[in-house]
Amino acid sequence: MDLWDEGPKVQGSKGPKVLPAYTEGMSLLAITRQPLRAEALAADLERQVQSRGEGCGGICTFLGVVRATHQGRRVRHLEYEAFEPLALKSFARIESEVAREWPAAAIAIHHRIGRLEIGEASVVIATAASHRAEAFQACRYAIERIKQIAPIWKHEFFDDGEAWVEGATADVDDEAARQRARDIAACA
């Protein structure tokens, strides 16, 4: 069940209205076909961590956005595909890795699938921690790990053709890759 499914239609005086898909308390880790809402996700995350440890002193959000060009070619739109159950497990793995590296931090990850237009967000990551350094580092770590292990694929459509983007071979046991993500995060 996709938690971002459209809610029930409400009949009002001005005709049918679709309720906002985002509801408070929905899963912090999700794959969805609906537009992403970074602010709402950050607010949910903040509510979850405000009572934890020293409390929440900073939230870092990252949005991956559909770019209009790829290697000089003009992109018309993208389509993302995921192996959803395994992608959610990879997000849970990243969450537990973040908890190990930055015990005071918490994370939310929503990744969109289906057709996306230029400028739309494909992924939103929110990290919350008692202090900003942990929030920034955990957020950078998470996007690097998503690119390494999440079974999600980007299909680009150009004016003159299309191409699947193929990055890393997903290998959750590759400790060298995980270390690279840690090293990159340390500079965040």
Within 110-139, the residues that bind another protein by CB under 8 A are 111, 122-123
- The CA distance from 78 to 30, in Å, is 19
Q: Among the candidate windows 1-9, 52-60, 149-157, 175-183, which touches another protein by CB under 8 A?
A: 149-157
Is position 149 an interface residue for another protein (rule: CB under 8 A)? yes
Q: For the CB of residue 164, give the shortest distance to another protein in the complex, in Å.
A: 4
Binding to another protein in span 61-100, by CB under 8 A: 64, 80-83, 85-87, 89-90
Inter-CA distances, 41 with 35, 58, 79, 126, Å: 12, 14, 23, 7
- Shortest approach of another protein to residue 110 CB, angstroms? 12
Nearer to another protein, 18 or 68 (CB): 68
Burial of 84 (0-12, 13-18, 19+ CB in 10 A): middle
Burial class (CB within 10 angstroms; exposed 0-12, middle 13-18, buried 19+) of 146: buried
Q: State the sign of the Cα–Cα–Cα–Cα dihedral 139, 90, 123, 48.
A: negative
Which C-beta is closer to another protein: that of 59 or that of 66? 66
Residue numbers at the binding site for another protein (CB under 8 A): 64, 80-83, 85-87, 89-90, 111, 122-123, 143, 146-155, 164-173
